[in-house]
């Protein structure tokens, strides 16, 4: 097994998106650049791929993977509801570095993306290859930093390959060095906005 390395500057974007989408649909794990660091992606509904991803990351079973989606409509397809307050926040900060904790749609019970409280974390990513890929797909994918637990997130494809060499992941999209910076802000919206992790977006 080997890693397929695709360099964005050497390929047309539609071709790269097609390759990435095909890999995801086949249950493969990809690494791709976001607006901050590189992330690992697997289709949100493929439990075999998610289980493999969890093992690669060395991630605790009680820590579900965050998701990215290309539109509010796709988010609506996986959550119980989107209230006006959340929709207003989405209009203000999406695409962007704001992750929202929402109740998962009934029947969506995969432990790798849904917490024991029945919630999931999702956002529409900021301008990046991640956004273009999310908009190309008609389903969400994971967006967990492309590093084993305890290691710093990578800002280049070379570091991703050092972390996950020997075919541990399937496809690496090399988009050059990413900007780094702060991770996404994570909030939960109830009667008020509760900030669970401070990050790139200040919502208060």
Q: How far apart are CA 100 and CA 78, in angstroms?
A: 13
- pTM, two decimals, is 0.95
Residue 50: the pLDDT is: 96
Q: How far apart are CA 61 and CA 151, in angstroms?
A: 18
Residue 1: the pLDDT is: 59
Element (H, E) at 75: helix 72-76
Q: How far apart are CA 131 and CA 191, in angstroms?
A: 30
Q: Which of helix, strand or coil describes residue 48?
A: helix
Q: State which residues of the chain have pLDDT below 70.
A: 1
Which residues, in sequence order, are bridge partners of residue 186? 99, 197
Q: How far apart are CA 189 and CA 81, in angstroms?
A: 12
Q: Which of helix, strand or coil describes residue 30?
A: strand
How far is C-alpha 132 from the chain's CA centre?
Answer: 12
Q: How far apart are CA 36 and CA 15, in angstroms?
A: 23
> What's the pLDDT tens digit per position in 7-55?
999 899 999 999 999 999 999 999 999 999 999 999 999 999 999 999 9
For residue 204, tell me if it sits in a domain.
no
For residue 202, tell me if it sits in a domain.
no
If one counts the domains in the chain, the total is: 1
For residue 12, tell me if it sits in a domain.
yes
For residue 93, tell me if it sits in a domain.
yes
Residue 73: the pLDDT is: 97
- Residue 49 sits in a domain of what CATH number? 3.90.870.10
Residue 134: the pLDDT is: 98
What size, in residues, is the chain?
204
- Enumerate residues 6+ apart whose C-beta is below 8 A from 47: 110, 112
Residue 191: the pLDDT is: 79
For residue 203, tell me if it sits in a domain.
no
Range of the domain at 128: 4-197
For residue 43, tell me if it sits in a domain.
yes
Q: How far apart are CA 189 and CA 43, in angstroms?
A: 26
Verify cis geometry, omega within 30 degrees of 0, for the bond prior to 95.
yes
């Amino acid at each position: 097994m080997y890693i397929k390395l695709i360099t964005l500057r050497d390929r047309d974007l539609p071709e790269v998106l097609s390759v990435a989408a095909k890999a995801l649909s086949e249950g493969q794990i990809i690494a791709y650049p976001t607006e901050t660091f590189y992330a690992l992606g697997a289709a949100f509904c493929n439990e075999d791929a998610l289980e493999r991803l969890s093992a690669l990351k060395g991630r605790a079973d009680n820590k579900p993977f965050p998701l990215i989606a290309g539109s509010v409509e796709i988010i609506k397809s996986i959550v119980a509801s989107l209230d006006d307050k959340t929709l207003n926040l989405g209009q203000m900060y999406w695409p962007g570095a704001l992750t929202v904790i929402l109740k998962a749609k009934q029947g969506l019970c995969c432990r790798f993306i849904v917490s024991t409280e029945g919630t999931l974390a999702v956002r529409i990513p900021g301008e990046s290859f991640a956004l273009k890929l999310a908009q190309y797909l008609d389903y969400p994918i994971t967006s967990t930093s492309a590093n084993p637990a305890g290691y710093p997130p990578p800002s280049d494809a070379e570091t991703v390959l050092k972390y996950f060499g020997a075919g541990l992941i399937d496809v690496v999209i090399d988009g050059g060095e990413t900007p780094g910076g702060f991770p996404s802000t994570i909030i939960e919206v109830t009667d008020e906005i509760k900030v669970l992790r401070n990050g790139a977006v200040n919502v208060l």
